[in-house]
Amino acid sequence: MEMPESKYFEYKNFIVSDKRIIKNLTIAYRTWGKLNQDKDNAVLICHGYTNHHHALDEDIGWFNNLMGPGKALDTNKYFVICSNMLGSSFGTTGPKSIYDKTNKPYGSNFPKIINLDIINAQKHLVESLKIKKLHAALGYSFGGHLVYLWATEFPDSLCKIVSIAGSLDRWDVTKEKIELIEKPFSDCKNWNKGNFYELDDTEIKKALINYRINVLNHYGFGEYLKTQYNDQKDINAIIETSAKGWAEHFDPNSLIILRRANYKSSAFKKASKIKVPVLKILAKTDKVTNMKKGYETIDYLKSLNITCSLVELETKFGHYGPMVDSLEWSARLKNFIEDNII
């Protein structure tokens, strides 16, 4: 997987929740469209757990079906920002970055971040672009949870949110599930508690590829490929190639750090602070994000007199569905973004 060029924002002495300081925070990001004179047409996109900030790209863009000139998120009208989240592996400061105290990759020394640290880093980026209020914040999967945090932590900094296959709180992230993420890597002989960068990482890379293959199948990517190819061997080969390309860039430490960041992360208790309309998108076949929880979220937000709406997708492709079956909801997104209807 070849990664296109990014822009980079630098921030000095970023304080995270455990009170540690990242002396030189770097945020990798991309933008599309043009910021208008009033700076009120900016839209922030928050990517998923193992994804990247290249939301719109001919080869690796994961939001291509819904964003671009004339599409639901129209880049002729809106200035769209997507940043790689703190702790990830696609250019923003993470465990592979050099730690100033050792002059080596952070590895296990990376701060114990939480999701509020991730959105605080995003906020610094947005403010550096002289944007006082986002027209919208939109997020997929992990990012679909982050936009709820944006709405509760920075209620005056945005006009609306779109949560795609995301949840109000991360009830699904338990200590047991964190341990399940860690185990395949901790079992590798050169894992060294995550400080493996100067060691042979062949075994670790294999574990990472296997993880990705399982995730792609669980998310529904394999089901989608069945509509494009008849031979299961071809499908398996495509999934494996995709997993290998991803594993060239992604650090298993990031998997663990970002999973831990979600532990007990919730916008539930502060939901009454939400001042903006909410559009929630869920696929009925999604094995990752629970539809029952989606109904409960909408009922809860309505009980707080928050304007909100749930779009239930019929897609066969589960968690992957909102990205590929875009025709099911692109009109709803366009109307919501353009202030026509909820």
pLDDT in tens, 182-239: 999 999 999 999 999 999 999 999 999 999 999 999 999 999 999 989 999 999 999 9
pLDDT of residue 3: 67
Q: What is the mean pLDDT of the chain?
A: 95
Q: What distance in Å separates the CA atoms of residue 187 and residue 19, rounded to the nearest whole number?
A: 31
pLDDT of residue 59: 86
Query: What are the extents of the domains in the chain?
Result: 7-174+264-337, 176-260
Q: What percent of the chain has pLDDT over 90?
A: 93
Pairing, β 104-105 against β 98-99: antiparallel
Q: What is the pLDDT of residues 11-66, one digit of tens each?
A: 999 999 999 999 999 999 999 999 999 999 999 999 999 999 999 998 899 999 99
Bridge partners (DSSP) of residue 68 are 74
Task: Give the pTM.
Answer: 0.95
Q: Nearest-CA neighbor of 87 among 289, 265, 260, 266?
A: 260
Q: What is the pLDDT of residues 157-172, one digit of tens each?
A: 999 999 999 999 999 8
Supply the CATH classification number for the domain 7-174+264-337: 3.40.50.1820
Angle, helix 115-128 to helix 252-261, in steps of 10 degrees: 100
| SS3 state at 31 | strand
Q: Nearest-CA neighbor of 158 among 268, 79, 42?
A: 42
Q: Is 68 left (phi over 0), alpha (psi -120 to 50) or beta?
A: left
Q: What distance in Å separates the CA atoms of residue 33 and residue 24, rounded to the nearest whole number?
A: 28
